[in-house]
Structure 1
Amino acid sequence: MSDYKDYMILLSPSENINMQVKKFKQASVRLIGEFESMHSKAHISLKNLHRQKAHWVEPLFEQLEKEQSLIEPMTLQINGFATFLPTDFTTIYAAIKSTPEMEDWFKRIRKSLNEKKAVPHITIARQIPNALAKKLWPKFKDRQWNDEFEIDRLTILQRETFGADKYWKPFKEIRFRGTADYNYLMQVKKTRESKVIKDIDEQQISLF
């Protein structure tokens, strides 16, 4: 057995959201045929780690847990459907409504993962050929879907990099145990400290 592992870090919506996404995927298969992501469970991807030495990367998840556990649970809202700008392929997804609270929450999660800003979304059909997308997208374009769900944990999946079994399996869950009030106060404190440092710097006299 190889020591190399792949890891996927994600957020899992509630079961009712997962079932609805499954229905959308099944309906899409009936219309355009099979596609790569047709069997994947509903999720919001955060980070993928490929070909990692398990004995090296897994201890890092302990530090990640310390950081992520301070984050509070968040209620996210689904607001219809959207697509990423097509290239040779198109991805159709359920859109997550953007709010200041949501943007700040994802920003804090991405910071501890060392990830750049991305659009949170739940994929329905990933990277399907544009010819098929032209047939499928009109079914979603004006369709209303407004729902909400709470995220109270971060999920890490694992699979063998070179093994025959390519299915993702649960590896670790990190519960969000923080509170919004505490995180808000800490952010205010950091902002004030940064302002004080900036004011002091601006009062310095440069001799060079």
Structure 2
Amino acid sequence: MKYGIALFPSKRIQDFANSYRKRYDSHYALIPPHLTLKEPFEADDQKIKEIVKELRKIAAETDVIPLKVTKFSSFYPTSNVIYLKVEPNETLERLHERLHSGILADKSEYVFVPHITIGRDLPNAEYADVYGQLRMQNVHFEETVDRFHLLYQLENGSWTVYETFLVGGKEQE
């Protein structure tokens, strides 16, 4: 089965992101606005039990995660993805590192750029027009997130939560 690890921002940020995603993101119906902490990976039932145990340990040792969204940005020319830039911070970077070491070690395809995707798979002309307008807008959200999620992919391509991990020394629900 295919799994991934992400955190979901507040409803306020999700609503803001969705106001663009519903028009510009081909994955709009597959997953809510999120910040990917670990790209999709395959794991069987036994492996996922080990991973869940490790994620509980990581969560217990992780502080609440500050999120500061500051602007629209893009991965152009690599891809026509438009996103909300999340400013890197030590807690987020450390969490990302831990989610890519030990039993979770892998060869990450990309450098970690914290972001919330709002547009993808746009034709070049539409991308240029949309990004040209969005990058002029002021964006500013600040909050803390107290959990991250292990997700799994359903047959229809959508993602759903397998387990939630509270950070900051909070008791697991």
TM range (shorter): 0.7 to 0.9
Choose which of 28, 32, 37 in structure 2 pairs with 1:38: 28
1:1-208 correspondence to structure 2 within 5 Å:
5-26=1-22, 29=23, 35-39=25-29, 40-87=31-78, 89-98=79-88, 102=89, 104-114=90-100, 117-160=111-154, 164-178=155-169
Contact 1:154 1:173 in 2 (8 A): yes
Q: Number of matched residues?
A: 161
Q: What letter matches 1:114 in structure 2? A: H
Task: After TM superposition, give the deviation of residue 35 of structure 1 in Å.
Answer: 4.5
1:13 is paired with a residue whose SS is coil
**Residues 1:165 and 1:92: Cα distance change in structure 2 (over 3 Å):** closer
Task: After TM superposition, give the deviation of residue 127 of structure 1 in Å.
Answer: 3.8
1:59 is paired with a residue whose SS is helix
Q: TM-score scaled by structure 1?
A: 0.69
Task: After TM superposition, give the deviation of residue 140 of structure 1 in Å.
Answer: 0.3
Task: After TM superposition, give the deviation of residue 41 of structure 1 in Å.
Answer: 1.4
Distance 2:2 2:141 in 1: 32
Task: After TM superposition, give the deviation of residue 37 of structure 1 in Å.
Answer: 2.3
Distance 2:127 2:49 in 1: 39
**Residues 1:90 and 1:61: Cα distance change in structure 2 (over 3 Å):** same
Structure 1 residue runs without a partner (length 5+): 180-208
Partner of 2:105: none
Contact 2:87 2:114 in 1 (8 A): no
Contact 1:155 1:170 in 2 (8 A): yes
Q: What letter matches 1:140 in structure 2? A: L
Distance 1:165 1:36 in 2: 14
Task: After TM superposition, give the deviation of residue 65 of structure 1 in Å.
Answer: 1.2
Per-residue CA distance 1:133-161 (angstroms, 9 max, x = gap): 0121122011111111211011111124x
* Bigger CA radius of gyration: 1
Structure number with higher helix proportion:
1
Distance 2:25 2:147 in 1: 29
Greater relative contact order (Cα < 8 A, sep 6+): 2
Distance 1:114 1:17 in 2: 26
**Residues 1:119 and 1:153: Cα distance change in structure 2 (over 3 Å):** same
| Structure 1 runs, 4 residues or longer, greater than 4 Å off | none
Distance 2:40 2:83 in 1: 22
- Give aligned-pair identity as a percent: 22
Contact 2:7 2:149 in 1 (8 A): yes
